[in-house]
Amino acid sequence: MMTCHEAEDVPHEECGVFGVYAPGEVASKLTYYGMFALQHRGQESAGMAVSDGNRIMVFKDMGLVSQVFNEPTLNSLPGSLAIGHTRYSTTGASVWQNAQPLFRSIGGRGFAIAHNGNLTNTDDLEALLIARVGAQGEVPRKQSMDSTNDTALVAAMMASWDEGQGVEQIAMEVLPQLVGAFSLVFMSENSLYAARDPQGVRPLVLGRLERGWVVASETAALDIVGATFVREVEPGEFIAIDAGGLRSRFFAEARPKGCLFEYVYLARPDTRIAGRAVQPTRFQIGRRLAIESPADGDLVIPVPDSGTPAALGYARESGIPYAMGLVKNAYVGRTFIQPTQTIRQLGIRLKLNPLREVIEGQRLVVVDDSIVRGNTQRALIRMLREAGAAEVHVRISSPPVEWPCFYGIDFATRAELIAPGLTTDEIAKAIGADSLGYVSLDGLIDSVGLPADALCSACFDGRYPIRIPCSAAARLGVPQEAS
């Protein structure tokens, strides 16, 4: 059993990271394309840091990639080395200061860093940092409006190390002290670095350009910049890329616990994680859902886009015809990752519109990827009934989400979730469905095709594989497995 240290609940975020080292190429434009491919992982802010070999320039702002960057901006960021970041915040402040990458100085040299994930030992790290720099030094407090993300804490720790050490040496000192989920990309004026936590909770991949290298949160970002997939960055691995080539070393023993929810919802369908293509995996989950939770219906319709592969699988297995009963407005972002409940509730009507000609008088089997708070499904079912649906049977391609995530997904508190304490029939009644069915956890894991002990399923079963803040563990009454 893992020991648990007192700590407050920490901010949660799901982001996209990208890094490129490509001599002779315009790194800012490659990063721009890569960030576009990762826009689904964060829609509040976007930023990049670019080096021309002598200095690092950082440009970031609130908004989508296309809102933050334009051609003149990209042309003003020369260099062949860059990192990029797309972010959304939850309990962390949605302000410019929290946009990434963050810039610091190490021994008089520039340093920029971007992070996807969530650290769970920030109080321990703050205490360590205070011991290093003194009480009056730079310690990014979680309650401070200018640094509510733990990336600032990692950057401050890196910057606090001895000036005589290089970034690689410092990284090998700092990385073993981080607990939680982290996929990091960072850079000096002449080198690109990447690191992944020992459990590999969040994805991070390595790609090869004709004259360089790329690291990114998902393989889809490699595709868009013309990079060839090489491999995943291994859990516990640190990578350095510079004029001398690529070097790899491990700062911790690998104990894989990849996030199961990446396969259900977070990742793009054209991405591969741990050797598994996401689109056919979601199709297989839909087939398993049809076996485990059949429904009498006239049409299977997806909640686009993330519910579409599973709906196709459900229709194939059940023999019920598949139809597009909902039209999606492609210019509205994901409702799940919007920062406020008001926007979430407004977002569903902006995002989806029912096709009355398709659904009127029909018994619908509506396939979606998950139910988190229940507001999206409640509003959706109301719209479908207003459009003339005779019955609405909801089928979900993941188990009930019953526990908050401390590793980087927007499940801030258990009280926000609809599933805890309710039966499936009670949830169906709460959202207004005629029936409700979920795929089982075993069925989901079988469909993914990886060993259960190599996956994190904490949001479904409450078994947290990495230490979480002790105050949260005590409040939730959850066990923590040794790692």
Give the CATH number for residue 334: 3.40.50.2020
State residue 198 phi and psi, 5-degree precision: -60, -25
Residue 356 half-sphere exposure toward CB, CA atoms < 13 A: 4
Q: How far apart are CA 112 and CA 25, in angstroms?
A: 20
Answer whether residue 274 shows pLDDT above 50. yes
Q: Over pLDDT 70: what percentage of the chain?
A: 86
Q: So what's the pLDDT on residue 341?
A: 57
Answer whether residue 141 shows pLDDT above 70. no
Same domain for 434 and 377? yes
Peptide bond into 52 cis (omega under 30): no
Give tens-digit pLDDT for 2-58. Answer: 334 333 322 234 799 999 999 999 999 999 999 999 999 988 899 999 999 999 999
Q: So what's the pLDDT on residue 148?
A: 43
Same domain for 331 and 210? no
Q: So what's the pLDDT on residue 109?
A: 87
* Residue 396 contacts residue 438 (beta carbons within 8 Å): yes
Same domain for 300 and 368? yes
Q: Active site includes 470?
A: no
What is the extent of the structural domain holding 339? 278-450
Q: Which of 77-81, 368-372, 413-417, 443-447 has the lowest mean pLDDT?
A: 413-417
Of 204, 209, 211, 205, residue with least CA distance to 226: 209
Same domain for 250 and 286? no
Q: How confident is the model at residue 145 (pLDDT cuts 50, 70, 90)?
A: very low
Give tens-digit pLDDT for 395-422. Answer: 999 999 999 999 988 765 788 899 999 9
- Residue 369 annotated as binding site: yes
Which residues have C-beta within 8 Å of that of residue 125, sequence separation ≥ 6? Answer: 119, 150, 153, 154, 157, 177, 178
Residue 65 forms part of a structural domain: yes
Residue 210 forms part of a structural domain: yes
Q: How confident is the model at residue 342 (pLDDT cuts 50, 70, 90)?
A: low
Q: How far apart are CA 320 and CA 309, in angstroms?
A: 15
Q: What is the CATH number of the domain that holds 41?
A: 3.60.20.10
Residue 144 forms part of a structural domain: yes
Q: So what's the pLDDT on residue 131?
A: 86
Same domain for 27 and 101? yes
Same domain for 146 and 54? yes
Q: Please provide the distance, in angstroms rounded to a whole number, between the alpha carbons at the two ends of the chain.
A: 9
Total domains in the chain come to 2
Q: Does the reported pTM lie above 0.85?
A: yes
Angle between helices 150-159 and 167-174 (to 10 degrees): 130
Same domain for 110 and 154? yes
- Average pLDDT of every residue of the chain: 88
Residue 476 forms part of a structural domain: no
Pairing of strands 276-277, 258-259: unpaired
Residue 254 half-sphere exposure toward CB, CA atoms < 13 A: 15
Q: So what's the pLDDT on residue 412?
A: 57
- Written in H, E and C, the secondary structure of the chain is CCCCCCCCCCCCECCEEEEEECCCCCHHHHHHHHHHHCHHHCCCEEEEEEECCCCEEEEEEECCHHHHCCHHHHHCCCCCEEEEEEECECCCCCCHHHCCCEEEEECCEEEEEEEEEEECCHHHHHHHHHHHHCCCCCCCCCCCCCCCCHHHHHHHHHHCCCCCCCHHHHHHHHHHHCCEEEEEEEECCCCEEEEECCCCCCCCEEEEECCEEEEECCHHHHHHCCCEEEEECCCCEEEEEECCEEEEEECCCCCCCEEHHHHHHHCCCCCEECCEEHHHHHHHHHHHHHHHCCCCCCEEEECCCCCHHHHHHHHHHHCCCECCCEEECCCCCCCCCCCCHHHHHHHHHHHEEECHHHHCCCEEEEEECCCCCCHHHHHHHHHHHHCCCCEEEEEECCCCCCCCCCCCCCCCCHHHCCCCCCCHHHHHHHHCCCEEEECCHHHHHHHHCCCHHHEECHHHHCCECCCCCHHHHHHHCCCECCC
Q: How confident is the model at residue 329 (pLDDT cuts 50, 70, 90)?
A: confident
Q: So what's the pLDDT on residue 3?
A: 39
Q: Name the domain boundary from 223, 257, 291.
A: 257
- The predicted model gives 63-87 an average pLDDT of 95
- Residue 162 annotated as binding site: no
- Residue 4 annotated as binding site: no
Same domain for 216 and 301? no
Same domain for 231 and 154? yes
Q: How far apart are CA 301 and CA 312, in angstroms?
A: 9
Same domain for 193 and 244? yes
Q: So what's the pLDDT on residue 106?
A: 85
Same domain for 249 and 297? no
Q: Which of 146-150, 256-260, 468-472 has the lowest mean pLDDT?
A: 146-150
- Residue 461 annotated as binding site: no
Residue 2 forms part of a structural domain: no
- Residue 425 annotated as binding site: no
| CA dist list (Å): 8 to 28, 121, 440, 469 | 38, 10, 32, 6
Residue 361 forms part of a structural domain: yes
> What is the token pair recorded at 441?
């956890």
Specify the higher pLDDT residue, 244 or 135: 244
- Residue 434 annotated as binding site: no
Residue 238 forms part of a structural domain: yes
Same domain for 239 and 150? yes
| CA dist list (Å): 443 to 286, 288, 420, 449, 452 | 10, 6, 20, 10, 11
- The predicted model gives 453-468 an average pLDDT of 95
| CA dist list (Å): 16 to 100, 293, 378, 381, 408 | 10, 34, 29, 32, 11
* Adjacent-strand bridge partners of 302: 367
Give tens-digit pLDDT for 21-33. Answer: 999 999 999 999 9
Which residues have C-beta within 8 Å of that of residue 448, sequence separation ≥ 6? Answer: 260, 263, 276, 281, 285, 455
Q: Over pLDDT 90: what percentage of the chain?
A: 72
Answer whether residue 144 shows pLDDT above 50. no
Q: Which of 7, 15, 68, 365 is catalytic?
A: 15
Q: So what's the pLDDT on residue 47?
A: 97
Q: How confident is the model at residue 346 (pLDDT cuts 50, 70, 90)?
A: low
Give tens-digit pLDDT for 427-460. Answer: 999 999 999 999 999 999 999 999 999 999 999 9
Answer whether residue 473 shows pLDDT above 80. no
- The predicted model gives 300-307 an average pLDDT of 94
Specify the higher pLDDT residue, 166 or 242: 242
Residue 166 forms part of a structural domain: yes
Q: So what's the pLDDT on residue 376?
A: 85
